[in-house]
Amino acid sequence: MTDSADPSARTRPPRFNHVAMSVPADLLDADGRAEILAFWGGVFGFEELPSETKDREVLVLSAYDWEQFLFLIAEDEPMICPRLDHFGMSVGSLEELETFLARAKAFAETDDRVDLIDHTADVHGDALTLHSFYVRFLLPMMIEIQYFDWDPAVAALNPANA
């Protein structure tokens, strides 16, 4: 038996796997879930895990992998956040970021509840330009989509890029 606290015994590095938010129960009824899925599925491709859904209680949205998800739970006193409280997701290319942004903007044209902060590109030294945008729809927190545009010589030094 291995000691899971011993880093040498790990089979992979630890990673973040979910974000949990409390919301009003009405948001988790059939109509609310459909609205959530229309945006989060249509813009980002998140999918409901139906086996976890409990009407007016729980909605779990898979984010590309069973181990990455949004966990939405009904509470009498749901989460309230300042506008820029957020969770983040990185993408592998600027084109992917721009695709998500275009989908979010298209959705915003049909629903004024979308809160969007447009694409910015922040330069960090000579090695990195960080592209991002923020968007929120119905949930208390925004999501920030980021693309790390590294200088190729610096990117080659990151083992995750191998």
| 115-140 mean pLDDT | 96
Task: Provide the total of helices (H) and of strands (E) in the chain, helices listed first.
Answer: 3, 8
Angle between helices 94-110 and 30-44 (to 10 degrees): 140
What structural domains does the chain harbor? 14-80 (3.10.180.10), 82-162 (3.10.180.10)
Question: For residues 28 and 50, what is the distance between their CA atoms, to the nearest angstrom?
Answer: 13
Question: For residues 143 and 136, what is the distance between their CA atoms, to the nearest angstrom?
Answer: 6
Contacts of 26 by beta carbon, 8 Å cutoff, 6+ apart = 32, 56
Could you count the other beta carbons within 10 Å of the beta carbon of residue 39? 22
Enclosing H/E stretch for 116:
strand 115-124
Question: How far, in whole angstroms, is CA 97 from its chain's centroid?
Answer: 12
Q: What is the pLDDT of residue 88?
A: 97
Enclosing H/E stretch for 42:
helix 30-44
* Per-residue model confidence as pLDDT tens digits over 35-59: 999 999 999 999 999 999 999 999 9
* Per-residue model confidence as pLDDT tens digits over 47-101: 999 999 999 999 999 999 989 999 999 999 999 999 999 999 999 999 999 999 9
Q: What is the pLDDT of residue 160?
A: 67
Closest alpha carbon to 63 in 49, 47, 87? 47
Q: What is the pLDDT of residue 128?
A: 95
Q: With a cut of 60, say whether residue 143 has pLDDT above it.
A: yes
Q: Could you give the percent of the chain with pLDDT greater than 90?
A: 81
